[in-house]
Structure 1
Amino acid sequence: MAAPRPLPVRLSGVIMPASIQDLEALRALTALFKEQRNRNLDTIGVAVDLILLFRELRVEQESLLTAFRCGLQFLGNIASRNEDSQSVVWLHAFPELFLSCLNHPDKKIVAYSSMILFTCLNSSRIKELEENLNIAINVLEAHQKHPESEWPFLIITDHFLKSPELVQAMYAKMSNQERVTLLDIMIAKVMAEEPLARDEVPVFLSYAQLFASTFVDQCKIVLKLTSEQHADDEEALVIIRLLDVLCEMTANSDLLGYLQVYPALLERGVDLLRLVHVSGLDSTSIFSTCGYIKAEGNVSNVAEGFKSHLIRLIGNMCYKNKDNQDKVNELDGIPLILDSCRPDDRNPFLTQWVVYAIRNLTEDNSQNQDLIAKMEEQGLADTSLLKKVGFEVEKRGDKLILKSTSDTAQP
């Protein structure tokens, strides 16, 4: 192989682009290092220095960008499936290379530097990220900007989500938009077809604690959305996504039991449903019932489905849990849930979630059944809804009985 050429130099303040021969040599070197026998660890430090120089030059000539990309590919190849190489790459590259490249405007440079980070990360190096949170947050930003790139996403799902300490530290420092992105990834993970692995359950229980705590403390922020002019309030958008995460977590049998007894979570859910329900009585509120499509366009908005999801959360928390069933009764939540069952284009499947919640509230709970039976007699409960739930009211002497029907509809 020909001797390496000198770096590009400045002539009269102009940076001379790398020659075609330079680029071909770098490509050839990259290809050689795909083979284990050709790896020479002494070259890693030089390669990192070159990459940092390319970043420092901040020029957009295609030839220099190509050399920049090839240098990163070289590091990625030399680190692939070789722990010794990974250690040396990490020693030379962390943290400067990742701080320099993960937020680069060129998406290939972002992808290649993400590949290197993914390849080198392990449990001990994750600890180092806790002291360099900007790198971890840059990965999340890279996923936001380049959702089509698999490497930032894989770093988050395969490395970050295994470290609750890192994620909690990141969450505290993130912007609200970044929190929404992280919560979307959490939802995708919990909803995945493959169940959580045994070693993942304790980790996600810690996330359940973080999200439930945040929701309990901050959920009323969502009431900022009572008018369209605050529809883009980012703090409120985080609460909406937190509710979505909690709905999916309470639908997971491994996480449900912990959240069912989480202090104040059920109470906050019922209280917030009441506030949203009252707010919706004002036709100008973003939470108002919308039973028709307006002529000027789509009725969808940031609060779409929020009431449905609140009722779903309450229903999940009452699943086979008598204490929570009784708690909702004490909070006058049953009439509130029944009164929420109205046509509403802003809350798809609202009726189905009301049906589901009422079933869970009345299962093996005679007190709640009696309450609904008396409401039906007084005209406060919709008879057709009770039939959908799978109950009908029958009078036996002086007593009203809420009994199950044989043709129970499925929610």
Structure 2
Amino acid sequence: MTQGNMAASDANGLLISASLAGILNEKLCPEHLQLLKTFTNALREAEYRDAVEEEAFSNVLKVLSRLLEDLQDRRSEDLQTFSLQLQMTAECFRSQRNSCVQSPRNQRLLRQLGFVDVSLKLLSYLQTMNLGSEDVIYEPLRCGIQFLGNLAVGNPMGKDEIWRLSFPDLFLQLLSFDDDKVLNYTSMVLHSCLDETKVEDLSNPQNIKLPLKVMELCRTQPDLDWTVLIATQHFLKSSSLVESMYSGMSHHERVTLLELLNAQLREEGSEGCGVPPGVARFLASSFQMGCGSVLTLATGSASSDEVLQGALTVISLLDVLCEMTSDHKQFMFLQDHPDLLVCTVELLSQVHAVGKASKNIFSATQNFSFTHDADPSSHSPVVSFKAHLIRLIGNLCHSNANNQNKVRELEGIPLVLDNCNIDSSNPFISQWAIFAVRNLLENNLQNQELVAGLERRGPADYSALRELGFLVEERDGSLLLKPVRKDT
């Protein structure tokens, strides 16, 4: 910037500052709004932004404070004046928003002058106003929240002050507002403010409504990216918060939480998901406690939506446990989680027996129509449930002799073998059964001998393996599961 330009900018800045001060002593008029717009536009330029005197910001704060008082003391029904007040409020917020862009100096100045407190009081008041048309308050609300977002960027002290003055009530109020942009901007500010300590605060009973609201928005408005980021980057990394949220959620919301967790596990790889061990333990225990509800789907006793949703939650829990025990080393301690394997084998046994006893939702089907709507199983809530039970058994037995033996003692090996048949209600069940059998037999002579004995007796259950192209072969004293050559 040349000396001439700097001088012009300084003179312009002094003129605007003096004019802003004049607003305080005059009746509000459209010229005042235009003056604020001039200031807002000037702040778009980095050179001007960096040169603004503290006095100019101080005068904007005084204007903002006057607008707050005028709105709170609104006595007349002069809609024109009221509309002007709201427009000027929005313009003040725009000026504040623009001043913080890539300017730590201005962020510090505005925070020290007291802009956060006055702005939050205005936002709190605006969102409670009962107006015939809410359109008129959308703009100041949006601009005010954007200011908070810009103030928080890279500014720890700003984040802490916004949090101190907004948490939890104002955040909760703004996240309940019926405007997508207000929701999106508020979520952005919340995401910016959160850190590990603040996330732990959310798990306290008196604060749990805020994370529950975020999770509700994840379910009802999945296009709001910031709420999903809050959940995946902050909420899922706290065992205490996950437990607190889960206990206060409806089954619908639990399914949303579990779906987000599953996506996080798949996308972030084995080391980068950030989900702590305590979450895995809690979900494993939750699966064990509620897994029996799935059986109600077979008898038709799931008459209420609540019972049905409870069963769907168990199905989602199973999906997450399968993912956690698939190539995620930090979760393999679940192999030793008390009774998780026993519960899974017993549930598979019950589901399998129920499906064989009569025609129901767990019965194997052979409908391979290419028309999606022609296949009733494609709409079943338990599609792949048996396959995933077998997958979890296979995961829990991988390179784990104790669990291999436990499945044998529970008579789970013939049960797995009996599910090697192709079943259109359980895509890939035969592949998961082969995977589980491999993990059950690996380096386990007793399990290998058991399977060989089944082969020698030639039961129908075991013939499914041969139909799929596998046989058991003795080699060097061990029994191996291997593919059958096509020419045999």
**TM-score, normalised relative to structure 1:** 0.89
What pairs with 1:154-193 in structure 2 (closer than 5 Å)?
154-193=229-268
Could you tell me which of 339, 355, 359 is aligned with 1:280? 355
Shift of 1:44: 0.9
The letter of the residue matching 1:53 is Y
2:105 matched to 1:37? yes
Shift of 1:253: 3.9
What pairs with 1:231-242 in structure 2 (closer than 5 Å)?
233-242=308-317
How far does the alpha carbon of each residue in 1:25-68 deviate from its partner, in whole angstroms, 9 at most, with x for none?
A: 43233212323333312011111111111110144432311111
Cα–Cα, structure 1 residues 161 and 236, in superposed 2: closer, same or farther, change >3 Å? same
Shift of 1:404: 4.8
2:283 matched to 1:208? no
* Secondary structure at 1:392 match in 2: strand
1:247 touches 1:309 (CA, 8 Å); kept in 2?
Answer: yes
The letter of the residue matching 1:277 is H
CA distance in 2, matches of 1:333, 1:315: 11
CA distance in 2, matches of 1:208, 1:238: 15
Cα–Cα, structure 1 residues 58 and 128, in superposed 2: closer, same or farther, change >3 Å? farther
2:238 touches 2:276 (CA, 8 Å); kept in 1?
Answer: no
Q: Mind listing any 5+ residue stretches in structure 2 that lack a counterpart?
A: 1-15, 24-62
Shift of 1:149: 1.7
CA distance in 1, matches of 2:117, 2:445: 73
Cα–Cα, structure 1 residues 22 and 121, in superposed 2: closer, same or farther, change >3 Å? closer
CA distance in 2, matches of 1:375, 1:187: 37
Q: Mind listing any 5+ residue stretches in structure 1 that lack a counterpart?
A: none
CA distance in 2, matches of 1:50, 1:141: 26
The CA RMSD measured in Å over matched residues stands at: 2.8
2:390 matched to 1:316? no
1:190 touches 1:196 (CA, 8 Å); kept in 2?
Answer: no
CA distance in 2, matches of 1:143, 1:358: 39
2:90 touches 2:144 (CA, 8 Å); kept in 1?
Answer: no
Q: What is the aligned-residue identity percentage?
A: 36
1:17 touches 1:61 (CA, 8 Å); kept in 2?
Answer: no
Shift of 1:12: 4.9
Cα–Cα, structure 1 residues 269 and 67, in superposed 2: closer, same or farther, change >3 Å? same
What pairs with 1:321-360 in structure 2 (closer than 5 Å)?
321-360=400-439
Cα–Cα, structure 1 residues 386 and 357, in superposed 2: closer, same or farther, change >3 Å? farther
1:186 touches 1:245 (CA, 8 Å); kept in 2?
Answer: yes
Range with greater deviation from structure 2 (379-388 or 98-107): 379-388
The letter of the residue matching 2:106 is N
Shift of 1:217: 1.9
How far does the alpha carbon of each residue in 1:337-367 deviate from its partner, in whole angstroms, 9 at most, with x for none?
A: 1112222111000110011011111111121
- Give the equivalent residue in structure 2 for 1:361: 440
CA distance in 1, matches of 2:143, 2:418: 63
1:183 touches 1:241 (CA, 8 Å); kept in 2?
Answer: yes
The letter of the residue matching 1:385 is L
1:107 touches 1:146 (CA, 8 Å); kept in 2?
Answer: no
CA distance in 1, matches of 2:130, 2:465: 65
Shift of 1:86: 1.4
**TM-score, normalised relative to structure 2:** 0.76
CA distance in 1, matches of 2:297, 2:433: 23
What pairs with 1:1-400 in structure 2 (closer than 5 Å)?
1=16, 2=20, 3=23, 4=63, 6=67, 7-8=70-71, 9=74, 11-12=76-77, 16-18=82-84, 20-34=87-101, 35-39=103-107, 40-41=110-111, 42-59=114-131, 60-131=133-204, 132-197=207-272, 200=274, 204-227=276-299, 230=302, 233-292=308-367, 297-299=374-376, 300=378, 301-380=380-459, 381-383=461-463, 385-386=465-466, 388=468, 390-393=470-473
The letter of the residue matching 1:125 is K
How many pairs does the alignment contain? 403
CA distance in 1, matches of 2:451, 2:75: 83
Shift of 1:73: 0.8
CA distance in 1, matches of 2:474, 2:463: 12
Shift of 1:228: 5.8
1:376 touches 1:393 (CA, 8 Å); kept in 2?
Answer: no
1:17 touches 1:64 (CA, 8 Å); kept in 2?
Answer: no
CA distance in 1, matches of 2:450, 2:331: 26
How far does the alpha carbon of each residue in 1:126-169 deviate from its partner, in whole angstroms, 9 at most, with x for none?
A: 23212301011111112112212221111112222222112211
Cα–Cα, structure 1 residues 13 and 176, in superposed 2: closer, same or farther, change >3 Å? farther
CA distance in 2, matches of 1:12, 1:359: 79
Range with greater deviation from structure 2 (272-281 or 10-19): 10-19
2:199 touches 2:241 (CA, 8 Å); kept in 1?
Answer: yes
2:445 touches 2:478 (CA, 8 Å); kept in 1?
Answer: no
Question: Which protein has the larger Cα radius of gyration, Structure 1 or Structure 2?
Answer: 2
CA distance in 1, matches of 2:232, 2:255: 15
Cα–Cα, structure 1 residues 102 and 341, in superposed 2: closer, same or farther, change >3 Å? same
CA distance in 2, matches of 1:369, 1:223: 32
1:283 touches 1:289 (CA, 8 Å); kept in 2?
Answer: no
